């Protein structure tokens, strides 16, 4: 997404792909259960290696090409089969790995309000970052635009963190994520 497209309204095609996002197909997805509406958006935080930004690790993980020998941490995750619908890089670049109409494998063992298996009914959005490091201003701006576009299509009811659907197992997007800031960007200004 370049500077001029950052000002354009985000849209989705019939399959749930955002034309302004760079699409990198992940094999780590499948069909959603029939007649299962999307009712949840899940915000994640990821950096590979941990605390480092801008490298190829996230793309390699989501496309099953992560070299277990490239970094000591990678040996513990190289065999994972995971993905997310979207990743928003530190510089605001928007990547899409799975069309929204499909189920991305982002939530793992999870539940929301008594309903297990959040992958079935959610969209996964990863922010390149770490729990205790502030996220970039451009990431909040792109995230807000993306959530608005996704909500126009899917009318989901909740936006939560990975930590909300997998408490005790996951901590992201972490205490550095500013939920109030995101809310101010999403909600219309009141007069």
What stretches of 18-159 show up as alpha helix (H) in DSSP? Answer: 57-62, 137-154
Residues tagged active-site: 126
Which H helix or E strand runs over 130?
Answer: none
Instruction: Give the alpha-carbon dihedral of 38, 145, 17, 60, to 10 degrees.
Output: -100
26, 99, 175 from 49: Cα distances, Å: 20, 26, 20
What phi-psi label fits residue 92: left (phi over 0), alpha (psi between -120 and 50 degrees) or beta?
A: left
* Residue 145 CB-half CA count within 13 A: 21
Do residues 136 and 68 make contact, with C-beta atoms less than 8 angstroms apart?
A: no
Report the C-alpha gap between 80 and 46 in whole angstroms.
Answer: 14
Tell me the longest C-alpha to C-alpha distance in the chain.
56
């Amino acid at each position: 997404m370049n500077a001029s497209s950052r000002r354009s309204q985000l849209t989705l095609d019939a399959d749930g792909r955002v034309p302004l996002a760079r699409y990198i197909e992940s094999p780590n997805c499948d069909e959603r259960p029939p007649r299962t509406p999307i009712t949840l958006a899940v915000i994640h935080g990821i950096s590979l290696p941990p605390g480092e930004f801008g490298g190829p690790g996230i793309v390699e993980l989501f496309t099953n090409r992560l070299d277990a020998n490239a970094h000591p941490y990678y040996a513990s995750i190289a065999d994972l089969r995971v993905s997310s619908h979207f990743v928003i890089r530190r510089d605001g670049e928007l990547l899409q790995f799975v069309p929204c109409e499909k189920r991305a494998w982002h939530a793992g063992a999870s539940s929301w309000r008594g309903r297990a298996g959040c992958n079935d009914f959610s969209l996964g959005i990863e922010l390149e970052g770490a729990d205790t490091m502030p996220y970039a201003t451009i990431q909040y701006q792109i995230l807000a635009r993306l959530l608005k576009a996704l909500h126009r299509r899917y009318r989901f009811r909740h936006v939560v963190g990975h930590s909300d659907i997998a408490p005790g197992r996951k901590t992201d997007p972490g205490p550095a994520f500013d939920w109030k800031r995101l809310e101010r960007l999403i909600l219309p200004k009141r007069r």
